[in-house]
Structure 1
Amino acid sequence: MRRIDIKKFNALAAHTRSPAAAYVSQELDWFANDDETLLATLLLDTVDGDYVGVVLGRDEMGRFRCIDVESSLPTKEDAEAWIQRAMAWHGRDKQTTFPQGDGKNTRPLDLFTPIVPPGKLHPSFVRLCQSKAFAPARRLIAEIMPHYVDVDGNFVEQFQTTGFDARLWELYLHSYLVEEQLFIEREHDRPDFFVKKYGKSVAIEATIVGRRTDRPVSYFKTEISLPRDHEEVLRRREHEIPIRFGSPLFSKLQKRYWELDHVKGLPLVFAIADFHDDQSMMWTSTALIDYLYAVRHDFHFDENGQLVITPLKIEKHKVGNKEIPSGFFFQADAEHISAVLFSASGTISKFNRLGRQAGFKVPGHVMVRIGTHYDHNPNAHLPRPFKYIVDETQSETWAEGLSMFHNPNALHPVPEELFPTIAHHRFRDGQILSTLPEFHPYASLTMNLLGKE
C-alpha cells in the first residue's frame, strides 16, 4: 500500500464520489496498491469526530466503487491500519474486477476503437488516438467513460466523426460538474444535464461555435492560427465573432426548452465554447461578453492615475449582408435563459494537462503551458502572463477558466452557491461586475515536446 496524490485519486475515482458524503465527512488521505487495481480513502467523520476507511475496486464496467468500508475507527492511525489490512486481503489473489451485480448487460463507452471507416474519422480524433503527446488525455478520458451516460446513443460515433468538438465540450462540462460535487441526472435527451444540490436544480444545454467551412480541420497543428495583428483582432471581435456566438445561442433559444415539463420553473443555462477556428479560444471571449450584454468597455486613467471604465452601448453586429441585434439577454424570450456558461479551456489540451498532473505520462514528453490570467490589481487594464511546466506539482482544476454570465432579466436566476469555484459575471447599471477566483486564466496554449525515450 502506498499513498497517492489527490490528483491521481481524483483522476481514477472522482466520479465514484457521492456529493452527499461531503456533508458528513472530509477526505484526509488516499492510497493505492502497487498496480492501482485497488484504491482507498481515509475520511474524517465530521459529525462524530471519528474516522472511516473505504476501499474501492473496479466493477464490471471498470468503475472504481466501494467494496469494503469500516466506520467508527477511533484514530487516524487505526483507520490507516485497517485500510492496509483490507487492501492486502482484497488484493491477495491479484483480483482486478469486483462485480457489483448491476453491470452484467452493459459495457463502458469505448471512444477509441473506431466504429466508422477511416475516411470518416475526424482528423482531431485520429491525432488524439495516435499521438504519444496525447497519451495523458487518452488515459484520463478512458477513466471517465465508464461513468458517462450516453442518453442519445450516438456519443461514440459523433466523437469519432463530425461531432468531435461538441462531444468533447460535453465531456468537459460533465467532468466539471462532477468536480463541483453536484448530483448529475441524465434521464432526458434534452437539455444535456440536470444538476441538483441544496434542494435546488439547474438545467444545462451545451452548444458550440462550429468550425469554419472555409478552413481545413487542423485542431492539433503545432503552429498557431491567429489573426495577423491587433487590428484584425479588434475588427473581427467587433462584428464577426459576436455573430458567430449569436448563431448557436439563437438556435438554442428557438428550441424553447423551458416549455418541457421537466424544465418548467428551473434555471436554464446555455453552455457554449468556441471551436470556429484553430486557437480561436485564445482571443474571442471578449466578443461573447459584448454580444450578451450589448456593451463594450473603454477605459482611461484619471488625473490621480486611477483606472476608469466606461461602458459603450452596442446596437448591432454586421458582416456583409448578415446583421443581428446585439444583447442576447435582451432579446425576445431570452428571459427564460438564466445564464450563459463559457470557457476558453474546454479543449483536449485540458484533458491532457489534467491527465499529466495525475501521473499519466510517456517517457520523453514535456508539456508547457503559457497564457494570460486576470490581474486582481484594481488599476490593472491588462491580464498577467503565466508559464509553467505541467507535471504532478501543478493543481489545475476543471473549473479553472470557467465563467458564468448571469442574465439580468432572468425569470429564474441561477443559485450561485451551486457553482462556487468558477467566475461569475453580472450586469448592473450598465457595468459588468465580476467575482473571480484567485487564479482565473483567460486563455492558454499548451506545447507538447517529445524527446528521445
Structure 2
Amino acid sequence: MDEVIVKRLDIKRFNALAAQSRSPAAAYMSEELEWYADDSEVVLGIVLRDTVDDDFVGILLGRDEGDRFRAFDVQASIETLEEARTWVQGGIRWHASTGNTAFPQGDETKGLDLFTPVVSIAKQHPFFSKLSREDSFIPAKTIINELMPHFVDVDGNFIEQFQSSGFDARLWELYLNTYFNEEQLFFDREHHAPDFLVEKYGHKVAVEAVIVGRKNENPALLLQKEPKLLHPSEIAEKHKNEMPIKFGSPLYSKLKKEYWMLEHVKDNPLVFAIADFHDDQSMQWSSNALINYLYGVKHEFTRDKDGKLIISALKIEKHQEGDKVIPSGYFFQPDAENISAVLFSATGTISKFNRIGRQAGFGPDNIIMHRFGTCHDHDPNASLPKQFAYQVTTDSNETWSEGLSMFHNPNAKHPVPEVLFPSIAHHYFDNGQIISHLPEFHPYSSMTINMKIAP
C-alpha cells in the first residue's frame, strides 16, 4: 500500500472545497489555524483553537452521500497545537489509506447537478454553453460544482433556468448565496419569497434578488455580438435617463410585491439586491446611474483655488426616455420606506467565479488569467478611481464580498445593521451628500482576460 501524503492546504483551497459546510456558530467559540488534506483531497482536516477553553480541536471531513464535505470525526480538549496537528494528520493518513471515498452521514439529500443538460442545445443560454464546455472556464465550473451540493432550490426550477433564459438571474442568486455564506450568516431558505432570510447577532434581514435583464433577443446571437465600447460622453448620456429607467423598472416591480407584509419579513429589514445584465459589460459603467436614481441627486466635482475637491449635489426630479417618465429618488417614493437598502455589485459575474476558482488552484496550467479595472482611491482629494491590474494565481486573495455595495435608505423603517455585512462597502445619504464606509480595496469594475497557452 502506498504511503498517504498529507499536505498543507491554503485557506482559499479549503474554502473552495468546504466553506459551505462551516457553521456560522463556529466563529463564536473557535479560531481556525491550519488546514490539511491527503494528496487526493479525499479527507480534509482542520486544526482549531477553542477560544472559550483555550485549548485545541481537530476535525476530519469527508464527502457524504450528497458529495458535501462534512465533519465525520472530532477530537476536542487537546492541550497543545502540536498534538492537535498530529491527531489531524494521523487521522487523514488512516482514513485515506482505507480507500473509502465517501463517509455516509445518513442523509440521502443530493445536490443540484447544474451541468448535465436538461434543456435542448437550441434552448441553452450561450454563456451556459461556454461555461460548461470551454477549458478557460474550468475554474468556475469546478467551484460551482463544489457549491451546488449545499444550495437549496426553493422553487424547483434552478437547473432549467440556469441552463436557459434565466442564466443571468440564477447566477446572481448563486453569487449572493455564496457571499452570505462567506459573511458567516445563518440561512433560512424555507420560504419562496423573498429569496433569502439571513440572520446573525439577533438580527434578521430579508433579501430579494433582482436583475436588469436583457431584451427579448435570440440568445444564440449573444456570442456573435461584438461588445460595444462606449465613449465617456455616451455613458454620461445614458446615466441621465436610460439607465435610471432600466434600474427603476425591476425595482419598482419588486416594490409592488409588498414583501414586508409577509409574516417572516414583517418588522425586519428588507433589501433588494440588483445586478445589471442588460447588455454585455454594461455593469462596468452603470453603477452611477443607480446611485442617481436611488437618491434623486447627481454629484458634480469642482476644485477651489487651492485645488481642494468640492462636491456639489444637484437634485434630479425625473427621468424621461421617449414617452416613459419616472420620478427620481426611489427611496423617497410611496412605500419605499419599507425597503431598507439596495445591494449592488458590478463584479458578481461568471468571471468572479472563474477568478476565485483559479486562485483556489482549479483549472489547467495552460490557462493564464489577467484581471484589470478601477478601484476606489482613498485620497480625500481624488475625483477619479485608481487603476489596478494583476495576474490571477494561487497568490491572489479575492473574496466574494469584494465589489459589493449596500446603499442604505435614509427613510427606512428598519435600517440594516452594518455589523451583519462588515466586509462590503456601505453608503448613506445625509443632507444631500453620500457618506461611504469603504473597504481598503473596493473595485468599481473590472475585466478578466483568459488566455490559453498552446503546448
TM-score band w.r.t. shorter chain: over 0.9
Instruction: After the TM superposition, list the runs of 4 or more consecutive aligned residues in structure 1 that deviate by more than 2 angstroms.
Output: 212-226
Counterpart in the other structure of 1:45: 50
State the aligned residue count. Answer: 450
Counterpart residue identity of residue 250, structure 1:
Y
TM-score when normalising by structure 2: 0.97
CA distance in 2, matches of 1:14, 1:89: 24
Counterpart in the other structure of 1:2: 7
Shift of 1:219: 6.3
CA RMSD of aligned residues (A): 1.2
CA distance in 2, matches of 1:206, 1:240: 22
CA distance in 2, matches of 1:426, 1:273: 19
Counterpart in the other structure of 1:138: 141
* Deviation by residue 1:306-342 (Cα, 9 ceiling, x = unmatched): 1010000000111111110001000110000000000
Q: Map 1:50-449; keep pairs closer than 5 Å.
A: 50-103=55-108, 106-213=109-216, 224-227=227-230, 229-449=231-451
Q: For the structure 1 residues 384 and 219, does the alpha-carbon distance in structure 2 shift closer, same or farther, using more than 3 Å as the test?
A: farther
Shift of 1:215: 7.8
* Deviation by residue 1:57-106 (Cα, 9 ceiling, x = unmatched): 00000100001111111111000000111112211221111000022xx3
CA distance in 2, matches of 1:278, 1:441: 18
CA distance in 1, matches of 2:61, 2:82: 19
Q: Is the 8 A contact 2:61 2:69 kept in 1?
A: yes
Counterpart residue identity of residue 102, structure 1:
D
CA distance in 2, matches of 1:294, 1:8: 43
Counterpart residue identity of residue 65, structure 1:
R
Q: Is the 8 A contact 1:124 1:218 kept in 2?
A: no
Query: What SS does structure 1 have at the residue aligned with 2:155?
Result: coil
CA distance in 2, matches of 1:311, 1:341: 22
CA distance in 2, matches of 1:220, 1:201: 41
% of aligned pairs identical?
60
Query: What SS does structure 2 have at the residue aligned with 1:96?
Result: coil
Query: What SS does structure 2 have at the residue aligned with 1:91?
Result: helix
CA distance in 1, matches of 2:272, 2:221: 27
Shift of 1:224: 3.8
Q: Is the 8 A contact 2:45 2:89 kept in 1?
A: no
Shift of 1:293: 0.1
Shift of 1:220: 6.3
Q: For the structure 1 residues 385 and 217, does the alpha-carbon distance in structure 2 shift closer, same or farther, using more than 3 Å as the test?
A: farther
- Give the gaps of 5 or more residues in structure 1: none
Q: For the structure 1 residues 414 and 452, does the alpha-carbon distance in structure 2 shift closer, same or farther, using more than 3 Å as the test?
A: same
Q: For the structure 1 residues 413 and 95, does the alpha-carbon distance in structure 2 shift closer, same or farther, using more than 3 Å as the test?
A: same
Shift of 1:262: 1.1
CA distance in 1, matches of 2:221, 2:299: 33
Counterpart residue identity of residue 180, structure 2:
L
Query: What SS does structure 2 have at the residue aligned with 1:311?
Result: strand
Shift of 1:185: 1.1
Shift of 1:225: 2.7
TM-score when normalising by structure 1: 0.98
Counterpart residue identity of residue 59, structure 2:
V
Q: For the structure 1 residues 197 and 219, does the alpha-carbon distance in structure 2 shift closer, same or farther, using more than 3 Å as the test?
A: farther
CA distance in 2, matches of 1:203, 1:24: 26
- Give the gaps of 5 or more residues in structure 2: 1-5
Shift of 1:177: 0.2
Q: Is the 8 A contact 1:226 1:280 kept in 2?
A: no
